[in-house]
Each structure stands twice: as structure tokens, then as C-alpha cells.
Structure 1
Amino acid sequence: MSADIESKILDDLMKKIIDEKFHENEKLPSENELAEQYRVPRATVRKSLAKLEERGFIYSQQGVGRYVKNESFRVELNLNGKASFTEKMKRSGHQLITENLGCEQIEFDQKIYDRLSADPEDNIYKIKRLRVIKNEPIAIHISYLNQKLFPDIEQDGSSIQSIFAYYKERGYTELINGYSLLSVTFPTLKEQQLLACQSMEPLIMVESNCLDASSDKVLEHTKVLYRSNKFKYNISWDS
């Protein structure tokens, strides 16, 4: 019964924030005020507020209170089309900063090898990049490439900023998506640290393949983790 009440309070406060009944950086009523409003013990309200903070809707200031989180920007992202993430952000007028987190060879992983149409003896490298806008980390891009197609990837991988630019420099100028899967996940501890998010803040995960249009060669398998509260998702087709 207590859990049901906690959920109802959580849902009500979340709806008020989404409907802008509470505004960005506005201080929420105190635990005592909310307990009186909902006619429940203060401990019940505290649990609801803790979950609301885990979901990324509010933040706490020690000894002061809880405030509605400042969602200073939300990026419109088209999940379709041929343009790279870098190109899409440039078109949207956002100054994107990419931090390359390194390149390493992975152990054999059947799923990734299958996605890349790779042979078991092939060497597959993983390149991880953090995307930042307005000093806020918004996404993690993980790209898997076959050394058979990109012989210098071990040396080049840790300096790549735009993977599409890397392909085009090597003669792959017409790129298409050959596979896409969208799902919702929650961040690991490492991902929480990289994205500066809470454990219960949902992430949108998009897995896809990038192909060379002229040969149908799979150039890359990609996994991208987007902070769900930093994007508006456009699923119409663009170029």
C-alpha cells in the first residue's frame, strides 16, 4: 500500500514538472508541506522525492531544499537519414565537442562479428567517443570496425572525431544504414560518470550498421547511448 502511495506522489509531481506547473530552478515545497498536502508521513514523501531525483527531474542542495532541474536545452535529433551525428548537430546550430575515449581491440563477440559480417579470425576494434554540448555530456558513441577494411585503425582510432569523415577520407563517400534497433536502457556506473546522470535516468540506445552504398560492405556496427532528457527525437526521413 505504501509503495502505491509513493508511486502516486511520484507520478503527480513528475506530471506537474512536465506540465510546467513547477518551473526550471523553482524550489519544491518542503517535505513537511508535501506530507501535509498528500496526507502521508514525511518518510513516504522523502522516498517519492528520492525517486524523482534519480529520474533526473530534480536536484538537491544540502540544507536548502530540492529544485526543479534546469533543462537548459533539448536537441532535436533525426534518427533517420544519411548525415552523421556531427553533421546533424552542425545543421541544428549546436557547437558539438567530441572527446575520444580511446580505441581497443575487443575479444570475440558473436553478435558484433555477425553484425560486421566478420570472420572469427578478424581483428575488431572498438572506438568510444563522448559527445558534449554546452558543457553537458549528452551521448556516448561506440563504433566497431574491422581491421581488414581499415588496416590503420589501431593507430588512427584514438584520434578519430567524426567516423563518417574518416570513411570519406578513405574513399567511402556514399553511406547508408543497413540495420537499426532502438531500445531503452539504464546507465552502468561508468556511464553515469561519463554522462553525469543518475542510475534511474533512462537512456535511448540505438544500434545500427553503416554500409558502403556502392558495395554493400558493412563498414561499422554502432551503439549509441543518448540521454533521453536531452533530446527530442524526429523519426521522419532526412538526407
Structure 2
Amino acid sequence: MDELMVKISSKQFKAGEKLPSENELANQYRVPRMTVRAALTKLEERGHIFSKQGKGRFLKEESIQIQLHLTGKVSFTEKMEQAGYDLETRLAGCEKIGYDERIYRLLECDPADDVYRVSRIRFIDRQPIAIHNSYVSEKMFPDIATEGPGIRSMFAYYRRHGHTEFAGSKTFLSVAFPTSAEQQLLQCKSMVPLLMVENDCIDEATGKVLEHSKILYRSDKFKYDITMD
């Protein structure tokens, strides 16, 4: 598997090219066919190759490379539109969450308060690339339960409620692997790493936290620009 990854990284295989068969690789590396199949399965789970029934395995087309400034002052929608990308946003859900000590503390909520998660899926060129989860308190936005299902851009929603200038808090990055539900939403395999970005959106005028966000980005769909403004 490591040797095949070196060949993929060094572009010895071209995008869309058919890989050697299991038998050919077994003979080349002098290993059992099951060993080859296990290596190819892992490469497919990690999103490097794909299979066609009865035709073999092929190297995936090169991913869309997108520069993304991980700052909290401009919305994702605005960033993508400014860059000229064909962006589509679909609501994945708006639901009240159970008590989460960290999220409640960040939103300055009491355990008795209600907090909602507004989830959207981002598509570029009709390919799912990210899941945006925004945690918003009903105390700050009393109508979030009814207005949440209509939200496509959180920044636009905040502006409609009188918040016009935004600041971001510290941004935390970590790596996660998708749950079965996230695999379906992002159309990816279980071993495709996701980059999780967590931060807060703050009303610059009042210093109040408007939302805590957790964003899951497909690692094979972005080139990350984390330059701070």
C-alpha cells in the first residue's frame, strides 16, 4: 500500500487511469492476492481510488483545490462567492441539542436554556465538501426554532437581527473520521480524514457570542490557507 501511495503521489498513475489488477500486483510484489486486495481496499476507503464493477480499480480525478481563509469575520458563503466558486447550501437539520457543558459555557447559557444546532451541507460544483454546524442559543435568538430551517447563511441571519460586524475567537483545528451519517452527507468513505474547525462568532459591537461552530471539511477537497488577517 505504501509503494502504491508513492506512485500515486508522484503521479506515476494519471487521474482516471486503471490500476494493475489484483493478480498483476500479487505477481509484482510476490504476495498473496488477499494482501493486495486488503491494500487496495484501504486505498479506496481513504478516497484515493475507486472501483467499477467488472472493470477494475481506477485512480480518482484530482480534487477541487480551494483556498479557504479560516477567519471568523467573513462568512463561508461570502468567501466562496468572492472567489468565484459555484456554491450551493442545503439545510441538513435544525434541532435542539442536549446539555453540553462546553457549548453551553461558550454561549453563556444556563443548563435550563435551549440551544439549537443548525446544520448545512456545502456543495461546490455539485460535490459535497463540508458540513457546517452552528450552535445558537434561544436566549440570544428567541425565534431560532422556527427560523432555523430557513437559514442558509448564518451571517445573513445575524444581520437581519441587527448584528453587523463580526469577530472570531481562537480557532481550533483537529482531525476526525466521519460517522456513518457524515459519510452519507459528504459522500465519502469511513477512512477519509475530516478537518474539524471550531471557533466562535462574536458580535464586535457588544462582545457577545452569537454562535459556536463546528465545521467538518473533507480533507481531499481543500487546499487550506490559514493566513490570519
TM-score range, shorter chain: over 0.9
Of 138-147 and 169-178, more deviation after overlay is shown by 169-178
2:127 aligned to 120, 125, 136, which one? Answer: 136
Partner amino acid, structure 1, of 2:141: F
Shift of 1:72: 4.6
Partner of 1:37: 28
Identity %: 56
Residues 81 and 124 of structure 1: CA distance in aligned 2, closer, same or farther (over 3 Å): closer
State the match for 2:228 in structure 1: 237
Q: Which amino acid aligns with 1:160?
A: I
TM-score (normalizing by structure 1): 0.93
AA paired with 1:122?
D
Q: Which runs of 4+ in 1 moved over 4 A?
A: none
The residue number in structure 2 matching 1:151 is: 142
Q: TM-score, normalised by structure 2?
A: 0.97
Residue 164 of structure 2 is aligned to residue 173 of structure 1: yes
- Residue 63 of structure 2 contacts residue 220 of structure 2 at CA under 8 Å; is this kept in 1? no
* Larger deviation, residues 109-118 vs 225-234: 109-118
Partner residue of 1:90?
81
CA contact (8 A) 2:72 2:166 kept: no
Q: 2:42 maps to which residue?
A: 51
CA contact (8 A) 2:169 2:201 kept: yes
Counterparts of 1:59-98 in structure 2 under 5 Å?
Answer: 59-80=50-71, 82-98=73-89
Residue by residue, what CA displacement relative to the aligned partner does 1:35-68 show, whole Å, maximum 9, x if unpaired?
1221212111111000000000000011110000
Cα-to-partner distance string for 1:182-223 (whole Å, 9 max, x where unaligned) = 000000000001100000110000111111111110100000
Cα RMSD for the two superposed structures: 1.1
- Of 105, 108, 113, 1:122 maps to 113
Confirm or deny: 8 A CA contact 1:81 1:237 kept in the other structure. no
* Unmatched segments (≥5 aa) in structure 2: none
Count of aligned pairs: 229
Shift of 1:15: 2.2
State the alpha-carbon separation in 2 of the partners of residues 51 and 138 from structure 1: 21
Matched, 1:21 2:12: yes
Matches within 5 A, 1:99-118: 99-118=90-109
Question: Distance between the aligned counterparts of 1:81 and 1:157, measured in 2?
Answer: 20
Kindly tell me: are residues 148 and 183 of structure 1, through their superposed partners in 2, closer, same or farther at Cα, counting changes over 3 Å? same
Residue 79 of structure 1: CA displacement? 1.3
